[in-house]
């Protein structure tokens, strides 16, 4: 089968064998996959990874589950051991022995086939288009914030970043009824959010020390700095992006203002699928391009381009 293979920070289109699912795993024929900033960071080398890239996908189960056979599915990306202290304490995304689809020791979704534990798979409702369902993983990640922090309607919330992740974080936070502002640097991206009634602004004009909660979705130090300055004393800053570099911050001001900083990663798929199916989160305007897997390298270049939101890969179904 064809696959986008990462090795030594070099991405290649390669022929590789179709994966052989382990016991408890299903073989999934990939229909569509989304390119995420984490993929771009992995190519830049933020974390050493060798193998097939990609972790956002919709596919069809071809082997390994009678119940899901022939069904469209999405899949949680952490394959867990079920035995370590984190699995046993209900925190499987922090499993000590986990592999992570396209990120840690497990071949990913930029390929004709992938394998994942059956328990990771969720059936996609028939009414939900494949393109839209491909966003389940990042919408789940956006929802993780609300698992970590209580966001009430009275709160002033700032989302820093108008990229793919920032847009999903903003849409999910808006559903809480909080007093939300999203800042970015691209009028056409912010326009997506304005169209849904979400307040937007340019990053240079935010009010300092005014927000109860800020969410950093840019993955760069300037975004972190902005999210920090926007917070009132005792405010909370959620770090939602991965960072290729180290972050530097004024630790004394964090102490003096008693700021809370929270790292936030993967979330639950079920509520994400629901929000996509009901249209409460609308990802249609985020889709900027489709590429066949065979043009995967061009797709990655497009995804790296300033101003471009989600680029989707389409698999041919021929191996």
Give the footprint of a copy of itself on this chain (CB under 8 A): 41, 46-47, 86, 91, 94, 148, 224, 233-234, 239-244, 246-252, 254-265
Residue number, 38 or 200, with CB nearest to a copy of itself: 38
Residue 40 C-beta: closest distance to a copy of itself, Å:
13
Please state, in angstroms and rounded to a whole number, the distance separating the CA atoms of residues 128 and 142. 19
- CB neighbour list of residue 222: distance below 8 Å, 6 or more residues apart: none
Residue number, 229 or 290, with CB nearest to a copy of itself: 229
Residue number, 10 or 246, with CB nearest to a copy of itself: 246
Residue 314 and residue 129 in contact, taking contact as beta carbons nearer than 8 Å: no
Residue 130 C-beta: closest distance to a copy of itself, Å:
29
From 217, 88, 106, select the one nearest 161 (Cα to Cα).
Answer: 217
Residue 234 C-beta: closest distance to a copy of itself, Å:
6
Residue 244 C-beta: closest distance to a copy of itself, Å:
8
Please state, in angstroms and rounded to a whole number, the distance separating the CA atoms of residues 167 and 171. 6
**The pair of three-digit structure tokens given for residue 103, joined into one six-digit string:** 């990120």
Residue 293 and residue 12 in contact, taking contact as beta carbons nearer than 8 Å: no
- Residue for token digits 């202290």? 85
Residue number, 41 or 282, with CB nearest to a copy of itself: 41
Residue number, 124 or 259, with CB nearest to a copy of itself: 259
Residue number, 66 or 258, with CB nearest to a copy of itself: 258
Please state, in angstroms and rounded to a whole number, the distance separating the CA atoms of residues 295 and 241. 27
Residue 35 C-beta: closest distance to a copy of itself, Å:
19
Residue 197 C-beta: closest distance to a copy of itself, Å:
27
Please state, in angstroms and rounded to a whole number, the distance separating the CA atoms of residues 262 and 282. 26
Residue number, 221 or 271, with CB nearest to a copy of itself: 221
Please state, in angstroms and rounded to a whole number, the distance separating the CA atoms of residues 66 and 62. 9
Instruction: Name the 3-class secondary structure at 223.
Output: helix
Residue 250 C-beta: closest distance to a copy of itself, Å:
6
**Burial category of 302 from C-beta neighbours within 10 Å (exposed 0-12, middle 13-18, buried 19 and up):** middle
DSSP state of 111: B
């Amino acid at each position: 089968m064809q696959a986008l293979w990462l090795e030594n920070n070099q991405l290649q289109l390669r022929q590789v064998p179709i994966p052989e699912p382990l016991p408890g795993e299903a073989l999934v024929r990939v229909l569509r996959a989304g390119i995420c900033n984490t993929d771009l960071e992995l190519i830049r080398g933020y974390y050493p990874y060798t193998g097939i890239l990609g972790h956002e996908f919709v596919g069809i189960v071809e082997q390994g589950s009678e119940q899901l056979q022939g069904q469209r599915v999405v899949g949680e990306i952490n394959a867990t051991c079920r035995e370590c202290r984190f699995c046993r304490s209900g925190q499987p995304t922090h499993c000590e022995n986990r592999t992570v689809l396209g990120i840690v020791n497990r071949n990913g979704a930029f390929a004709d086939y992938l394998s994942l534990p059956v328990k990771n798979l969720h059936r996609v409702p028939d009414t939900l288009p494949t393109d839209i369902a491909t966003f389940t993983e990042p919408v789940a990640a956006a929802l993780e914030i609300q698992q970590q922090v209580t966001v009430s309607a009275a709160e002033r919330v700032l989302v820093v970043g108008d990229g793919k992740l920032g847009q999903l974080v903003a849409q999910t936070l808006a559903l809480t009824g909080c007093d939300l502002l999203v800042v970015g640097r691209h009028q056409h991206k912010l326009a997506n959010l304005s169209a849904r009634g979400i307040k937007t602004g340019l990053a240079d004009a935010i009010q300092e020390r005014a927000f109860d909660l800020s969410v950093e979705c840019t993955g760069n130090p300037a975004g972190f700095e902005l999210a920090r300055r926007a917070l009132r004393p005792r405010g909370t800053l959620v770090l939602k992006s991965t960072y290729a570099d180290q972050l530097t911050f004024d630790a004394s001001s964090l102490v003096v203002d008693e700021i809370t900083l929270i790292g936030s990663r993967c979330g639950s798929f079920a509520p994400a699928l629901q929000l996509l199916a009901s249209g409460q989160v609308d990802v249609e305007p985020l889709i900027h391009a489709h590429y066949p897997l065979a043009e995967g390298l061009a797709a990655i270049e497009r995804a790296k381009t300033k101003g471009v939101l989600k680029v989707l890969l389409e698999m041919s179904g021929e191996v």
